[in-house]
A and B are shown apart, each in its own frame.
Chain A
Amino acid sequence: MDLQTLTYIVVGATFALYIGIAIWARAGSTQEFYVAGGGVSPLANGMATAADWMSAASFISMAGLISFMGYDGSVYLMGWTGGYVLLALCLAPYLRKFGKFTVPDFIGDRYYSQTARTVAVICAILISFTYVAGQMRGVGVVFSRFLEVDITTGVIIGMAVVFFYAVLGGMKGITYTQVAQYCVLIFAYMVPAVFISIMITGHVLPQTGLGATLLDGSGLHLLERLDGLSAELGFAAYTEGTKSTADIFAITAALMVGTAGLPHVIVRFFTVPRVKDARISAGWALIFISILYTTAPAIGAFARYNMIDTINGPDAQGTLITEAPTWIKNWEKTGLIKHEDKNGDGRMFYSGDERNEMTIDRDIMVLANPEIAQLPDWVIALVAAGGIAAALSTAAGLLLVISTSISHDLLKRNLMPNITDKQELLAARGAAAVAIVIAGYLGINPPGFVAEVVAFAFGLAAASFFPAIILGIFYKKMNKEGAIAGMLAGILFTVGYILYFKGIFITPFAENKPENWLFGISPEGIGTVGMAVNFVVAYAVSKFTKEVPQDVQDIVEQIRFPKGAGEAQSH
């Protein structure tokens, strides 16, 4: 059987599974649609959270980024896991006790203000759309490479599947589908990693293989060899990187805090029955996430070693173009690898200086990895299914946030408080459908700045939601004036800084380079400063404005201990 047929079968089988689950887990009420009826077990919720969280970026791009960035790639590893500690310790249990459906619900009620609710709704929708466009694009890329359909058709198929289970099942359908998707994606990620680890180092666990001795007879550790290769080829040392300490610090912090402030992650903790379950499901989620996140740096290092070895050859003289392995030819067709024989010697050469002849897209490392290591076809088919699972599960979670924001936060709690549960459910389904179509459109016609807007999503979450929620729980005296002023100041500062250097829709005001940055912090890490601005402004404004009403202070007292947490309530 050829690779393409095999891929069709594997991907088709996973789709059939997702649709089967969706039919089994249909939602009958808004409660089921928004928070899966609040009855998901912590283990299942942890797994669903992990799938929800690990997007096309985690599955497809992250190991590739680390492969090219070396130590600097640590910002993603620490940033995207450390946020769960903040979630578990500072947010999840209290928000669960509060017992509402959404993040804007909390902000609006805690700060007794429709303005605060509206600011939160706009942020939630903006963050989620930014993210979801990238997921649809990821689906398209996988389809076009492995199933050889064009990206548009790929995106439309992906849209149809998500449409089916998100619109039908809401959070309930999404949660149980995500459990299945987690299993698919983690299996697909681990199998090639284990194979390659055994081939290169003899270690079964990629996590220990990363620090092991190479089997090539040199007696060197993998990381030593990579540092050596980097020096020979004119790259920065693999284990040291090039970013400044201040920038690494700020980016890591922005990603951590941003993670803890992302609405589609927070909402997962509303789906469990008890406060206790909210705490432990953050723990389960992080275990499931860590399996992938501790493997990714190993894949990155293996891929770099394998790639340099294949392209430059064992004697580091370059491999003849006529003898180039098939994966190079396959990926050249997609335009993601380019070779230009600059010195005309008929050989390929990859380096960090003027000898370099290769242009390699970072995103292909995970997808091409099984081919580079010459693993069997079924492994390649599996990786394709895993990439799609990662993208679909995240897209579904985000679409739910968008539809809930519209039907619940905007209609029910703001514009049309008198609609019935049935009408609200209909509105939620309608909003989900519209959101999928918009997301699909953005996936087919990606705005030129997809990479740039991702910095937006984390920066916004870090500078808006995180401080507002933390202050709402831990500082009883924070009033609506302070919270709103803080959120607006944080957002304006962060958005302003990103626009200043990246110039989305407008021309940048200054060149995006370290000399121009504030405190040497890049736009990716500026959310950390935005968060600080939010905290300071909120505190200062709250000191000069009216005190918080007593009944709100009593609510804050009530969310600080678990006893009496009921089901999530709409009022």
Chain B
Amino acid sequence: MTNKIRILLAKVGLDGHDRGVKIVARCLRDAGMDVVYTGLHRSPEEVVAAAVQEDVDVLGVSLLSGAHMTIFPKIIAGLKARGVDDIILLGGGVMPDEDVVALKKMGVHEVLLQDTPPNTIIQTIERLVAERGDR
């Protein structure tokens, strides 16, 4: 990998569970990626704007509030509205398996649920960025 992978990690909505996202942020940083974390309670619009502004490869959204089926469509619509098609969108947290299937159909590239080992997360991101290719 010639360029550092740039990733924005985000917490959206009222959900305050940030244990997982902070672990992921640290693991990805330790793996050599450029990590920006939005902090808590962001709106979908704020997150999309930040992802575009930071020119990230990957946008990772952590949700443990159960509101993923409401929030992801807004993020996907926000990215589309800005004409963005090369940001890899990831979901993480606690979500039912059937929702994971639905999210992937909707355009979320990968969903990494609780208890996913950090190395698996790193490898998944590296693979997805490699598959997308340079931009």
Is A bound to B?
Answer: no
